Amino acid sequence: MNQNVITEQMTAAGQKIEHSSFSIVDAEAGDRGSYSEEQWPLVRRMIHATADFEFNGLTEFHPNAMQAGLEAIAAGAPIVADVEMICVGLSKPRLSYFGVKTHQFISDEDVIVTAKSEGTTRAVQAMRKAHKLGLLDGAIVGVGNAPTALLEVIRLIEEEGAKPSLIVGMPVGFVSAAESKDIVAAANQVPWVITRGRKGGSTLVVSAIHAMLALAEAREKNK
C-alpha cells in the first residue's frame, strides 16, 4: 500500500510517533471482537485519542457505515456537527483534499433566539437550521456533545425526510446520552457509528472522521 500523504502527520517525527502509538494500541487491545479490517482503524484512532481501551467494544457500526462514510468523503459531502469543537478539530488540509466543508450553527444568533422562544436547546435548532439549508442530505452528521442534536436528527429523518449519508453519534454525558445512541441504532434508517453508554465526546467524532479520511485516501491511491 502506498503511504498516505494528505492524511498523515506533516513531519517524519510526527508520523513515527503516531505510527508507534497505533502499534502499541494494536498490541495491547487484545480481542478486537467482530471489527472488520476497515472498522478497526477507526476504533484504534479513538483509543489513541483517549488512551481508553474500552472503546474496543463500546464502538458499534451499522453494517453499511464504513462504505457510506467513505463514499460520502470521496464525493466531497459536507460534515454537519453539533458543536464548533468538531469543526475546529478536523484537519483543514485533510478535508480540503476531498473538497469537504464543515458546518455548525450552535452559536448563531437566530438559533439562540429560536431555542429560547420555543423552549428547546440550541442543538435542536442548529440541526433544524442545517436541514432548512439543505445541508443534512448526503452529509456526515457528527454529534459529540449534545444528545438532543442526535435525537433531532432522527426526528428530521423520520418526519421530514432528511437523508444523511452517515451519523457519527457519540455524545457524552449523563442525561440522554446513552439513550440517544440506542435510539439511533434502533431507528436504523441511516448508517451510523456510535459509542454505547455514557462515554463519547467531540474528540471521538474527530478521531472517527480522521480515520475515514485516511481510509478514503488509501482507497483512492489503490484504485
Kindly report, residue by residue over 55-82, the tens digit of the pLDDT: 999 999 999 999 999 999 999 999 999 9
Expressed as residue numbers, the domain containing 104 is 56-221
Residue 88 falls inside a structural domain: yes
Residue 80 falls inside a structural domain: yes
What's the whole-model pTM score? 0.92
CATH number of the domain that residue 162 is part of: 3.40.50.10230
The number of folded domains in the chain is: 1
Residue 68 falls inside a structural domain: yes
Residue 181 falls inside a structural domain: yes
Residue 207 falls inside a structural domain: yes
Sign of CA dihedral 176, 177, 182, 183: positive
Kindly report, residue by residue over 76-99, the tens digit of the pLDDT: 999 999 999 999 999 999 999 999
C-alpha–C-alpha distance, residues 162 and 179, integer Å = 21
Cβ atoms of 87 and 94 within 8 Å: the answer is no
Residue 73 falls inside a structural domain: yes
Verify whether residue 19 is a known catalytic residue. no
Residue 214 falls inside a structural domain: yes
Of the listed 48, 62, 103, 210, which one is catalytic? Answer: 48
Residue 14 falls inside a structural domain: no
